[in-house]
Chain A
Amino acid sequence: MSELTPRKDLLDIESLEREEIEYVLENAAPFKQLFQRSVKKVPTLRGKTVLNLFYEPSTRTSSSFEVAANRMSADVTNFTVSSSSVVKGESLLDTIETLQAMRSDYIVIRHQAAGVPGIVAKHTGASVINAGDGYHAHPTQALLDAMTIREVYPEYPGRRVVIVGDILHSRVARSTSTLLNKLGIEVAVLGPGSLVPAGRHDFMTRLRSWDEVFDWKPDAVYLLRVQMERQEGQFFPSIAEYHKMYGMNSQRLVGMRKLGAYLMHPGPVNRGVEITDEAMRYERSLISTQVENGIAVRMAVLHWLKPETDKD
């Protein structure tokens, strides 16, 4: 593979070149093969340090990064900041100073405020990986989603993915849809009008019902988690009504099977809300593949980024 311009940080999907995306996805595959072996480690990042800095509770993403870093032989420090101990925004520069002193090579950061990883990246030589900032971006989620789709559809351009749920408050919807669009995959959205903003990406076709979804013939249906904790104000009448209107249930599984469509979800799922128990057992569910690919993609990202830690 030809050499790419070195990149220090992974902050969003928008700024990525197609070649960079392909590069990461290509590299993730051999990392994933490694998981079949008894020794799952490579020495690539021996002596390097990865700081997992989570301002928002997250077990899955944080663990996924930790496993990825461990398998690259890096030393990992987990640093979870409970939001109560953070003076909103104001202490950010002080935090960055503290981080500088830790001399990490990679900083994986999740923060409730959009744009914070970019601010950190500007002030540190470490490679900053955005693990989710507010509603803004979750680039490694997008990369693992793309990897998962590529595995089942090697000839992915022209394929169709419909994203179902809270488009307004979802960084996953933003990043994954942007990445799919860059790869030539068509994207549609389904969700309550109050959660499908008019300012969404132009390429997001709006579908208004499951009937329209099945008429559109998606190759994959991507359910979003209903973010009950992230909603300020009421956007739909009740969880029961959401489930009835937008949830994946046995009746909609019939439509899925007819199309042979795959089912995806970023996790963790709310059973009985966006998906029923039965639908969790759908034979074309890619949900656990997504988790596995998450580790491989994050290893590929750690491998790809070039910290400037000697600089400071």
Chain B
Amino acid sequence: MGGQSRLFKNGRIASADSPDLREADVLVDADGIITAIGPALTASEGSEVIDCAGCLLVPGMFDVHVHAREPGFEHKETLATCAAAALHGGVTGLVLMPDTSPPVDSGNLVKSAMDLVSEVSAIPMYQSGCLTKGREGKELAGFSGMAARGVPMLTDADRTVPCPDVMRRCMEYACDFDLLVTSHADTPALSKAGAINEGSVSYRFGLPGIPAISQEIAIDRDIHVARHTRARLHLQQLSTACGLASVRRAKESGVPVTCEVSPQHLVLCEDDIQDYNTHFKFNPPLRSAGDVEALAAGLIDGSIDVIASDHAPHTEFEKSSDFGSAPFGASGLETSVLVLYDRFIHGGMFGWDLLIQRYSVAPRQLIGLEPVGIAEGAAAEFFVFDPAATTKITRDSLRTKSPVSPFFGESLRGAIRGTTVRGEWFP
């Protein structure tokens, strides 16, 4: 533990329960436990006082969709740089995707990943496992070994399980271990070598398109298999209004399904892609303006359970090739909270309570963790947010190894002053 007690002075506390903010000081002891919350607290001798005047204290976010790239792709990101990025973005816990090299498809690999995490990561990270061996969509991976090592979910990460029969067996078998099956819904026979949403923009750019139906059909398929098997299904990275409508219908009829959306799919659409800028190349692709609007509505009404960044680091060099050849994805951990504050909270579209619900509480609950809140007796796991400041997103403002973001050049309202977790303060 940090061994340093801290007093967060004059801040306002945000919570998942109410859009109102509570003005109070927060005292955190040397073990990182919140010992007092109240007005005009005084710091004991030797404690650090952090002036939070004008700032908010916000419970740490939890990201269920992070590619940390280690082992195998350390040139893109490492667990250490990923943790630094998370802390810089107010994220105090996350789920690691298993698409490393080798892919995490057995209990032993989960163990070695978690050993590495405990050595190098400043924040809790939970290693998910593959649904199929080598993420090849053919044979089931070692579920029982991975379950014994406590994987929070199984997913082939950015790859759908193409064969419905294999997906069915995965879901049936996952039920035996009460494992969450997480699906990157996509129909490879439709998305093919696509690089961008199919439509007028793909036509204008002359790029192969990824049709909306490639995700929508896969969502429907996975929902039907989940209904049939009663497996718990989590759908990653919703991108279309129709796909969202399917999830809504499934929930109404009692299918155990949850879903997530990324900040980029909530605020950017295909029309924002200018001049073949590969920083806007995502999988699923940025869709139409109408889809963006529907996703935001779904986030607010609760049809979408979880916000997840799909932090997908790549090097600048990899992203500097032509749009069709460049890899999918960008860094997201450091910009998620800022983007959502700038585009939604600041304008009153929703309050901090909703952001905390969708990006801190629900994601933890999804994998069976207790939510973190700012309360006496609880571990201090929050960040200090200054709504009056602005943050200019540039390649040098990020702590990830991957300076790739569709928000470069933007001055986003708000700034994260620092994050505390496990008794440490990371300014």
Contact = CB atoms under 8 A, between A and B. Distances in A.
Interface string B298-331: 0000000000000000000110111111100000
Given A135-B207, A199-B198, A199-B209, A114 B193 contact: no
B199 A113 contact: no
A136 B202 CA distance: 9
Interface in A110-133: 111, 113-116, 118-119, 133
Interface stretch (A38-46, A58-66, A85-93): A85-93
Interface in B39-69: none
A223 B198 CA distance: 25
Contacts of A116: 322
Contacts of A232: 192-193
B73 interface: no
Contact of A92 (B192, B205, B321): B321
A71 interface: no
Contacts of B202: 199
Interface string B198-241: 11111111111100000000000000000000000000000000
Nearest to B207: A114
Given A199-B200, A199-B209, A200-B203, A119 B324 contact: no
A197 B322 contact: no
A182 to B, nearest CB: 14
Given A113-B322, A114-B323, A115-B322, A199 B203 contact: yes
A171 interface: yes
B275 interface: yes
Interface in B238-258: none
A114 B276 contact: yes
A134 interface: yes
Interface of B is mostly: loop
A171 B200 contact: no
A90 B206 contact: no
A187 B126 CA distance: 57
Interface string A196-236: 01111110000000000000000000000000000011000
A137 interface: yes
A89 B203 contact: no
A273 to B, nearest CB: 23
B204 A115 contact: no
Nearest to A115: B276
B199 A114 contact: no
A201 to B, nearest CB: 7
Nearest to B199: A199
Given A113-B325, A135-B206, A198 B275 contact: no
B325 A89 contact: yes
5 contacts: A92-B320, A114-B276, A115-B322, A116-B322, A119-B322
Given A90-B318, A135-B206, 10 more contacts: A89-B326, A113-B324, A115-B207, A115-B324, A136-B205, A168-B203, A174-B206, A199-B209, A202-B200, A232-B193
